[in-house]
Amino acid sequence: EERTFIMVKPDGVQRGIVGEIIKRFENRGYKLVACKMCRPSKEHLEKHYADLSKKPFFPGLIQYMSSGPVVAMAWEGKEVVKMGRAMLGATNPLDSNPGTIRGDFCIDVGRNICHGSDAVESAKKEIGLWFSAEELQSYKSCEFEWVYE
Ligand code: GTP
Ligand code: MG
Q: Which of 81, 109, 129 to mutate to test the pocket of ligand 1 (most atoms within 8 A of CB)?
A: 109
> What is the DSSP code (8-state) at residue 56?
T
Enzyme catalytic residues: 115
Instruction: Provide the pLDDT for residue 27.
Output: 98
* pLDDT value, residue 17: 98
Q: pLDDT tens, 25-76? A: 999 999 999 999 999 999 999 999 999 999 999 999 999 999 999 999 999 9
Mean pLDDT of the chain: 98
- State how far the alpha carbon of 102 is from the alpha carbons of 11, 13, 34, 54, 112, in Å: 12, 14, 22, 25, 6
Are 77 and 1 within 8 A, CB to CB?
Answer: yes
3-state secondary structure at position 37: strand
Give residue 79's pLDDT band: very low, low, confident or very high (50, 70, 90): very high
Q: Is 112 in the pocket of ligand 1 (CB under 6 A)?
A: yes
What is the average per-residue pLDDT within 11-19?
98
* pTM for the structure as a whole: 0.97
% of residues, the chain, pLDDT over 90: 100
pLDDT band of 133, cuts 50, 70, 90 = very high
Q: Which residues are CB-neighbours of 110 under 8 A, at least 6 positions away?
A: 57, 60, 61, 64
Sorted by sequence, the CB contacts under 8 Å of residue 11 that are 6+ apart come out as: 64, 106, 111, 112, 113
